[in-house]
Amino acid sequence: GAVVSQHPSRVICKSGTSVKIECRSLDFQATTMFWYRQFPKKSLMLMATSNEGSKATYEQGVEKDKFLINHASLTLSTLTVTSAHPEDSSFYICSAPEVGVLGYTFGSGTRLTVV
Partner 1 sequence: TQLLEQSPQFLSIQEGENLTVYCNSSSVFSSLQWYRQEPGEGPVLLVTVVTGGEVKKLKRLTFQFGDARKDSSLHITAAQPGDTGLYLCAGKGGANNLFFGTGTRLTVIP
Binding mask 68-107 for partner 1 (x = CB under 8 A): -----------------------x-x-x-x----xxxxxx
Q: Write down the least CB distance from residue 16 to partner 1, Å.
A: 26
113 binds partner 1 (CB under 8 A): no
Q: Which stretch binds partner 1 (CB under 8 A): 14-22, 45-53, 65-73, 75-83?
A: 45-53
Q: Write down the least CB distance from residue 91 to partner 1, Å.
A: 8
CA distances from 95 to 15, 23, 29, 76 (A): 27, 8, 12, 11
25 CB burial (10 A radius; 0-12, 13-18, 19+) = buried
94 neighbors 23 (Cβ within 8 angstroms): yes
Stretch (H or E) spanning 108: none
111 binds partner 1 (CB under 8 A): yes
44 binds partner 1 (CB under 8 A): yes
